[in-house]
Amino acid sequence: MSLAAIYFALKKRYLLSGLFALFATAAHINGLLSLLLVLMILYEEREKLINIVQTFIIGMLGIVGYMIYLRVKFHNALEFLTQQRKLHGWLQHSIFTELSHINPTEYLFAALVIITVIYWWPRRKSFAIYSGLYLLIPIIGGTIGGFSRYTLMVFRYNS
């Protein structure tokens, strides 16, 4: 869904891009980063503000709808964050604690993402920012061992 949203943004098909972003944000929290990339692409392409706003509103309907469902079902619109903390330790560990347990191959994945950011910066800043944000996900969450999964997402969209 994210790839389709990005593709249609590049093709200037705003409604389709927003629709696929809607499904991406409903399916996974990472869809928000994809929506951000779509919006940055539209901005870089100097699209009309109304097209950017429409795409944003349509794309956000996915996560908003999911949060409404969580509010009704579990009385907590942010239940997905609560479950990440409970099941995976998200946002419960110090980055310094995690660095002592990191697999050395994870450094390679982090280096690849940094190289990707450096590569894209002069070409398309939106892809560089997107790549950098994906690199920050495991760092912010305190589960740094997931660099390989996030690296895959960066290379999937930016290649």
pLDDT 10s digits, 27-55: 987 899 999 999 999 999 999 999 999 99
Q: Best-predicted range by mean pLDDT among 21-25, 78-82, 101-105?
A: 21-25
Sequence length of the chain is 159
Residue type, 98: E
Contact (Cβ atoms closer than 8 angstroms) between residue 142 and residue 95: yes
CA distances from 73 to 23, 67, 131 (A): 20, 10, 34
Confidence of residue 93 (pLDDT cuts 50, 70, 90): low
Q: Please report, rounded to a whole number, the percentage of residues in the chain having pLDDT higher than 70.
A: 73
Contact (Cβ atoms closer than 8 angstroms) between residue 145 and residue 101: yes
Both tokens of residue 133? Answer: 């944000």
Question: What's the rounded mean pLDDT across residues 55-84?
Answer: 93
Average pLDDT, the chain: 82
Task: Judge whether residue 144 has pLDDT over 60.
Answer: no
Contact (Cβ atoms closer than 8 angstroms) between residue 6 and residue 37: yes
For 96-132, the pLDDT digits (tens) are 555 556 666 667 767 777 888 898 899 999 999 988 8
Q: Helical H runs in the chain?
A: 2-10, 14-27, 31-44, 49-74, 79-88, 95-99, 104-120, 125-141, 147-158
How far apart CA 70 and CA 79 sit, in angstroms, is: 6
